[in-house]
Chains A and B, each alone.
Chain A
Amino acid sequence: MIRDRNWFSRLFDGANYIFLTLFAVLCLLPLIHIFAVSLSGRAPATAGFVSFWPIDFTLENYEQVMGSRNFLRSLAISVARVLTGTSLSMILVILTAYPLSKTPRVFRGRTIFIWFFVFAMLFDGGLIPSFLVVRSLGLLNTLGALILPNAVPIFSVILMMNFFRDVPKELEESALIDGASHWRVLWHIYIPLSLPAIATLTLFSAVNHWNAWFDGLIYMTDTANYPMQTFLRTVIVTLDLTQVGINPQDLQRLSDRAIRGAQIIVATVPILIVYPFLQRYFISGIKLGAVKE
């Protein structure tokens, strides 16, 4: 450990700590502001008196949001999409990555298959043809439109494949000699040894599903089928609070801003809950694929 003890170096250290602290606080301030607004009463929230601490503290904004049937319905759709979409994706990613991680001697045709997937990742048919395909398959207004089109995230397949390739070959070879099938090798050797990578990709997939909203906007023609983030868009961005379905008398006692704030916070909480786990894994997850040299 090197110690720089001259005054200039110490000054730099002090300034550095202050700068980084300010930067991090600045990143969070907008969120804290909205949180404070969401806990404030009608008058101070509407008038814009609230900065970073609630005024006329109330939980009623949250009670209204959580009591709104439209909001809860969209929440249920989002939960369903996260659970089914993430499981489907992970099964497909693992099943696709395993054969691709083999050498062409073990898996003949690997080169062709790999280019089949890589080309599909590099060239994009574009928004309109993708939309027309999903529509022609009769998926509009179904959960399938939200989980099937991106059920095989190809970049995740490549990350998984690279991870599988680092599994020691000796384990697999001895198992195969003992008569184990590829199914057993995958299940008993590869999956247990790849749990950190699987956990990383699972969390990322879940976060992506939770955060996705554009597909809901284009594939759901009936707003009753909107997942939560798409629903929030109508409330927050197009400012159509009638969508929330809160009864008008209640709405008069509350601030639009505070109700929107409460919904933003509710949408953020699940991310905050998985965030510590996510953070533990994503650094290793990123290293395992993205900067592999």
Chain B
Amino acid sequence: MTFKQYMKRAWPLYVMIVPGLIFVLLFRYYPMYGVVIAFQDFSPAKGFAGSPWIGWENFEFFFSLPEFGRIFSNTLIISISKIVADQVGAVILALLLNEARRILFRRTIQTLIYLPHFLSWIVLGGILLDILSAGGILNQAIGALGIKPQLWLGSNDWFRGTVISSGFWKNVGFSTIVYLAALTAINPVLHEAAAIDGAGRFRRIWHITLPGIRPTIVLLAALSLGDVLQAGFEQILTLYSPAVYRSGDIIDTFVYRVGLISAQYSLAGAVGLFKSFIGFGLIVLSYWLADRYAGYRIL
């Protein structure tokens, strides 16, 4: 087949892909070129091409800041706690839902626990700011039990815990979906055979149900590695305040403040690039692990 014959048939395919290519070039690749600001003393008037180059200065400055260690450890502590809580919670909830035999009951519970996932952090944040306020309903409730009111969002003792549990609230229900899908794929014959052999309910859960979803657990554990630097930017930006920077300021919120509030583009760009670089490595590693140990490929 000559090129001309090929193109006679295939030309629409190239026309179709052009709009997507242009958008991705403009809004994904052009910003990648824009990371050069990390090595510049960038000024918007001179642009990416005209700003003076200063080498690694922005990075050196960032590494010397006291915030450097703080935002990294906060990011890692919050995101890893979230991942562990979410996955463990989702497995347990999925197993319990799977044991509830009444279909209507199960559907109803599922419908209710998925819902917070579809609400924005502004809506959930507005709710949290109200119920967790000094005189809010949570403090009233624990007050009735004789416990002193706490500043759930305003104290460094509680802030991380609040972020982790409210993240759990938003996402754990939705995370059960993948496990529930895996559970329906377990052949019921296995359970029947085990029951005939005298295995009780909990032995069947332990020896059949859990091994049945093990590949899914491994897969999600591998993929979650790619999210280790995502501690929940929109959530924390909604909930935090200067009082809790010590325990709650993460890389993304720092970049936002330095870059877009104080307009120190180059410094924020350097921090962002540092994060993108590690993040890229983590995602590639997580996909490699997912392929290696769970046979998962996105393509």
Tell me whether A138 is interfacial, beta carbon within 8 Å: no
Tell me whether B216 is interfacial, beta carbon within 8 Å: yes
Closest CB in chain A relative to B241 CB, distance in Å: 10
The secondary-structure label for the interface of chain A is helix
Contact check, A20 vs B100: say whether CB atoms are below 8 A apart. yes
Known: A16-B96, A17-B100, A237-B122. A152 touches B20 (CB 8 A): yes
A152 to B24, CA, bound (A): 7
Closest CB in chain B relative to A71 CB, distance in Å: 14
Known: A95-B16, A129-B34, A279-B114. A124 touches B276 (CB 8 A): yes
A37 to B137, CA, bound (A): 11
Tell me whether A195 is interfacial, beta carbon within 8 Å: no
* Residue from A2, A4, A237 in contact with B192 in the complex, judged by beta carbons closer than 8 Å: A2
Known: A51-B137, A96-B16, A107-B10. A126 touches B31 (CB 8 A): yes
Of B16, B20, B127, B294, most A-chain CB atoms within 10 Å: B20
Chain A 43-73 against B: per-residue CB contact (8 Å), 1 yes, 0 no? 0000010010000000000000000000000
Tell me whether A116 is interfacial, beta carbon within 8 Å: yes
Contact check, A157 vs B100: say whether CB atoms are below 8 A apart. no
* Residue from B17, B21, B32, B169 in contact with A125 in the complex, judged by beta carbons closer than 8 Å: B32
Chain A 132-143 against B: per-residue CB contact (8 Å), 1 yes, 0 no? 111111000000
Tell me whether A240 is interfacial, beta carbon within 8 Å: no
CB-CB contacts below 8 Å: B1-60 with A: 6, 9-10, 12-14, 16-17, 19-21, 23-24, 26-35, 37, 44, 47-48
Contact check, A95 vs B178: say whether CB atoms are below 8 A apart. no
A158 to B127, CA, bound (A): 35
A141 to B71, CA, bound (A): 31
A132 to B129, CA, bound (A): 32
Closest CB in chain B relative to A78 CB, distance in Å: 11
Q: Which residues from B are CB-within-8-Å of A137? A: 26
Contact check, B10 vs A123: say whether CB atoms are below 8 A apart. no
Tell me whether B243 is interfacial, beta carbon within 8 Å: no
* Residue from A4, A20, A117, A290 in contact with B200 in the complex, judged by beta carbons closer than 8 Å: A4
Which of A79-87, A166-174, A210-218, A242-250 contacts the other chain? Answer: A210-218
Tell me whether B145 is interfacial, beta carbon within 8 Å: no
Q: Which residues from A are CB-within-8-Å of B265? A: 128, 132
Which of B62-70, B73-81, B104-112, B156-164 contacts the other chain? Answer: B104-112
Contact check, A31 vs B127: say whether CB atoms are below 8 A apart. yes
Q: Which residues from B are CB-within-8-Å of A229? A: 120, 122-123
Contact check, A126 vs B260: say whether CB atoms are below 8 A apart. no
A21 to B17, CA, bound (A): 49
* Residue from A25, A48, A92 in contact with B19 in the complex, judged by beta carbons closer than 8 Å: A92
Tell me whether B119 is interfacial, beta carbon within 8 Å: yes
Give the residue name and chain of the B residue nearest to A134 (CB): B27
Contact check, B123 vs A264: say whether CB atoms are below 8 A apart. yes
Give the residue name and chain of the A residue nearest to B140 (CB): A48
* Residue from B20, B33, B234 in contact with A95 in the complex, judged by beta carbons closer than 8 Å: B20
Of B127, B200, B272, most A-chain CB atoms within 10 Å: B127
Of A27, A30, A129, most B-chain CB atoms within 10 Å: A129
Known: A108-B10, A286-B178. A100 touches B17 (CB 8 A): yes
Tell me whether B103 is interfacial, beta carbon within 8 Å: no
Contact check, B259 vs A131: say whether CB atoms are below 8 A apart. yes
Known: A293-B295, A293-B296. A122 touches B284 (CB 8 A): yes
Contact check, A232 vs B113: say whether CB atoms are below 8 A apart. no
Q: Which residues from B are CB-within-8-Å of A34? A: 126-127, 130-131
Contact check, A127 vs B259: say whether CB atoms are below 8 A apart. yes
Known: A127-B272, A128-B272, A257-B130. A24 touches B109 (CB 8 A): yes
Give the residue name and chain of the B residue nearest to A19 (CB): B96
Contact check, A176 vs B9: say whether CB atoms are below 8 A apart. yes
Contact check, B131 vs A271: say whether CB atoms are below 8 A apart. no
Tell me whether A189 is interfacial, beta carbon within 8 Å: no
Known: A96-B20, A127-B268. A213 touches B12 (CB 8 A): no
Q: List 17 A-B contacts (CB under 8 A).
A: A2-B195, A12-B201, A27-B169, A33-B127, A34-B126, A96-B17, A124-B280, A126-B272, A130-B27, A130-B34, A137-B26, A151-B27, A207-B118, A210-B120, A257-B130, A275-B118, A278-B118
5 tightest Cβ-Cβ pairs between the two chains A and B: A125-B31, A129-B34, A126-B272, A96-B20, A211-B120
Task: Write the residues of chain B forming the contact surface with A, with a CB cutoff of 8 angstroms.
Answer: 6, 9-10, 12-14, 16-17, 19-21, 23-24, 26-35, 37, 44, 47-48, 93, 96-97, 99-101, 105, 108-109, 111-116, 118-123, 125-131, 135-137, 140, 169, 173, 177-178, 181-182, 191-192, 195, 200-201, 216, 219, 233-234, 237-238, 252, 255-256, 259-260, 265, 268-269, 272-273, 275-276, 279-280, 283-284, 294-296, 298-299
